[in-house]
Amino acid sequence: MFRATKCHDLPRQIRGKKSCKCQDSVKEITRHSTQDAPGIMIFENDGKTSTLEQILTPSPEPPLLLVFCSPQRVLEIFQKIRHHRLESHHANWVIIMEGTEQEVKGVTPQLTKYILEGTRLTLIAKGRGGSLNVSSAEVDTEGRPDGTVTGFIGMVARWEANFAVTTISITDTRATVVDFTFPYYREPLCIFSRTPKQKNRALAILAPFTFLVWICIVISTLAMGPILWLYSKLSLRSSGEENTEVPLRTFSFNVFRNLTNQGNLFITERWPLRILFFFWYIFCLNVSALYSGSLTAVLAIPAYETPIDSLEDLPRAVKDGYTLGVMEDSSHEYVFKEAEDGIYRKTWDLFNHKDRSKSFVNSPKTGINWVLEKDFVYIGPKTITEIIAMKLGIQKFHIGRSLFFTANIAVPCPPGAPYVNTFSQT
């Protein structure tokens, strides 16, 4: 959310600096910070995590942090704050960046990804010539990119409601704007997908063996005839009986007949050829027995798509064309988004981040409807989503067997509400 910041909203040391150099303004503000405004701190990005920890430590008087750097360095600072989990909503940031007002506004949407709810951030464009443009873009981030707290959390945080009784889970960002009671219910997440369809049986004749096994059988059949013919030709030449040579097509034809259990029309008195044919007969007998037994099982029992039962199955589902979804701005999204590694992080990478509207839904009902309407897999709270699925026909859905991330459901109350402990004891 952008709005013009009036001159009197900024520190007194900054006002009137429309023609000052950035270095001069830093020196003057630093000089006055210990006199007129002891709460003002100049932030120097020295790359040390200890510095960030020191300035972001909660204090009775929320400090005003001044940052002088380029837009790219601003993003690096807040990325580092998020990486080390040093976010703090008690500090007020004033960031002066060299560039135009439009460039400042372009950086703001990216910054909102790294800032906690309740953080007050003022961005000021420093002109290329060294002047400060006091008319700045300001963003109040309270949970959403547009700077607003929505739904029940927003109503409670603004004291429009004394509390909210619904399925609201506890997250770190929500806890910065409201106070939660002791959890009264725990709800696990599970995976909802469409009931697996029966596979197309048009190619059931090939189902007994995998593609690799079929390739090996074809190569063996094509190679066995020439091998027998070459061995026969070499042995006849060495014995001086070249006039009795058997053509290649005879060997190849009989090798194929053996594979299909049609017998062998080629008779030889040479023991080496008999031994080769014997091992080929054994090979063909095993292939025939395995194929016949597997084909009977495939035709007798209907084959269905592989169900999606756990997080480990999601990469395969996405590869097959499914879209993975979860409710936006919820603790369910938060658990994957904040994961640094492991299966949760891998799952987060599977969501459609290029077009969030395709993966992040506004309610469990929308997610369940999408499961029926398109190739969509929804991750949601088990009980609530299961009730919605029952209304639509539970037989149409497959509910994953694996349960994960049990969320704590509690009652949100306004900050400092005196009845939080009473609710927790009830």
Question: Are 277 and 264 in contact, with CB atoms under 8 Å apart?
Answer: yes
Instruction: Give the pLDDT mean for 197-203.
Output: 78
Split at pLDDT 50, 70, 90, the class of 319 is: very high
How high is the mean pLDDT of the chain?
75
Specify the pLDDT at position 301. 75
Ranges of each domain in the chain: 7-141, 151-184+413-425, 188-197+305-409, 204-300
Specify the pLDDT at position 323. 95
d(CA 422, CA 280): 83
Options 3.40.47.10, 3.40.640.10, 3.90.1280.10, 3.40.190.10; CATH of 188-197+305-409 = 3.40.190.10
Specify the pLDDT at position 104. 67
Instruction: Give the pLDDT mean for 73-78.
Output: 76
Split at pLDDT 50, 70, 90, the class of 202 is: confident
Question: Are 146 and 124 in contact, with CB atoms under 8 Å apart?
Answer: no
Which residues have a Cβ under 8 Å from the Cβ of 155 and sit 6 or more positions away?
161, 164
Split at pLDDT 50, 70, 90, the class of 63 is: low
Q: Is the pLDDT assigned to residue 343 strictly greater than 70? A: yes
Instruction: Give the pLDDT mean for 287-315.
Output: 87
Specify the pLDDT at position 416. 87
Q: What is the pLDDT of residues 4-23, one digit of tens each?
A: 333 333 444 443 433 333 34
Split at pLDDT 50, 70, 90, the class of 236 is: confident
Among residues 84, 19, 37, which one has the least CA distance to residue 56? 84
d(CA 379, CA 399): 10
Question: Are 340 and 311 in contact, with CB atoms under 8 Å apart?
Answer: no
Instruction: Give the pLDDT mean for 64-93.
Output: 69
Helix (DSSP H) and strand (DSSP E) numbers for the chain = 14, 13
d(CA 326, CA 348): 10
Q: Is the pLDDT assigned to residue 2 strictly greater than 50? A: no
pTM confidence score: 0.48
Q: Is the pLDDT assigned to residue 276 strictly greater than 50? A: yes
Specify the pLDDT at position 275. 86
Q: Is the pLDDT assigned to residue 182 strictly greater than 80? A: yes
* Least confident segment among 61-65, 289-293, 380-384: 61-65
Specify the pLDDT at position 246. 80
Specify the pLDDT at position 174. 80
* Least confident segment among 94-98, 140-144, 220-224, 381-385: 140-144
**Which residue did the predictor score with more confidence, 3 or 154?**
154
Specify the pLDDT at position 125. 66
Q: Is the pLDDT assigned to residue 55 strictly greater than 70? A: no
Specify the pLDDT at position 35. 43
Helix %, strand %, coil % for the chain, to 5?
A: 45, 20, 35
